[in-house]
Amino acid sequence: MAEKIDIILSGVGGQGVLSVGAIVSMAAMKEGLKVRQSEVHGMAQRGGAVLAHLRISSGVIESDLIPKGGADVVLSMEPLESLRYLEYLKPDGALVTAAEPVENIPDYPDLSMVHRTITDQANANLIDARTLAKEAGSLRAVNMVLVGALSVNLPIKSESIKEAIRDKFISKGEAVVETNLKAFNLGREAGGRQ
């Protein structure tokens, strides 16, 4: 049986949803796995809801899109967005999302209700991503916190992901690499707590 993991990535245009996918893809490729990532470009990136499909497999990947009921994880950069895609999750699939909202619409629902709805899900993990990123040293490391939280659900060694993070940020200097690695570790710790 081929090793295979399907991830739905969601968030709001401009949050860097694709950069999360890029790190995971790079790490998967380091381990000799195949990847296919369906992205959103163009109009939807202007502050709208963004959905990306990331598929990782040791075998052939036929479709760019994950079927409903096929995803192992929904990883969301934003709590309201995380709830849009539950139909993609397998019955035992995991929901991992940042807790902090992007309230750029007039009818954003009550946040505590959104949070409660998330924590009511069977296999959900609400991550205080901004708080952890701040602790790591930079609010810009939010995405790496979420990569860390996601990593506990992946059949990929955390060393491979750390290598990918290093490769991605090395041109910006060692301090930036360290901040992002710390963010990854804090996210991974938070991801392990359920």
Partner 1 sequence: MQEVLVLGDEAVALGAVDAGLSVAYGYPGTPSTEIMEYLIDYSEKKDTGLIARWCTNEKTACEGAIGVSFGGRKALVTMKHVGLNVASDAFMNSSLMKIHGGLVLAVADDPGMHSSQNEQDSRFFADFAKVPCFEPKSHQEAYEMTIEAFKVSEKFHVPVILKLVTRLSHSRAVIQRGGTAEKSCFGKAPDRKDWMAIPALSRGNWKEHLELQDEFRKYSEKSIFNPISINPGRKDIAVITTGLAGNYYMENIKDLDPAPSHLHIGVYPMPEEKITDLCSRAEKVIVIEEGYPFVERYLRGILPGGKNIDGKMNSVVVPYGELDPDNVRKALSLPPLASQKPVSIPLPGRPPQLCQGCPHADSFNAINEALDKLGGGTVTSDIGCYALGAYPPYNTVETILCMGASVGMARGASEAGLENVVATIGDSTFLHSGVTGLIDAVSTDTAMTLVILDNSTTAMTGGQNTILSSSQIKNVVLGCGVNPDHVREFVPLPKNHDENVKILMEEISHQGLSVVIPLRECIQTLRQKKTKKA
Closer CB to partner 1, 123 or 131, in the complex: 123
Helix, strand or coil, per DSSP, at residue 63: coil
Pairing of strands 89-98, 49-57: unpaired
DSSP classification of residue 79: H
Q: CA 183 to CA 97: how far, in whole Å?
A: 15
Pseudo-torsion of CA 32, 124, 72, 74, nearest 10°? -80
> Closest approach of Cβ 162 to partner 1, in Å?
19
> Closest approach of Cβ 115 to partner 1, in Å?
11
Pairing of strands 124-127, 71-76: unpaired
Structure tokens belonging to residue 179: 């901040």
Closer CB to partner 1, 39 or 128, in the complex: 39
Chain contacts with partner 1 (rule: CB under 8 A): 12-13, 25, 29, 34-49, 61-70, 80-81, 83-84, 86-91, 93, 104-105, 107-109, 113-114, 117, 121-122
Structure tokens belonging to residue 94: 């995991």
User: Minimal CA–CA distance to 105: which of 81, 72, 132, 70?
Assistant: 81
> Closest approach of Cβ 16 to partner 1, in Å?
14
Backbone angles phi and psi of 177, in degrees to 5? -60, -45
> Closest approach of Cβ 64 to partner 1, in Å?
4
Closer CB to partner 1, 113 or 194, in the complex: 113
> Closest approach of Cβ 39 to partner 1, in Å?
5
Alpha carbons within 13 A on the beta-carbon side of 160: 16
> Closest approach of Cβ 23 to partner 1, in Å?
13
Closer CB to partner 1, 33 or 132, in the complex: 33
Closer CB to partner 1, 24 or 146, in the complex: 24
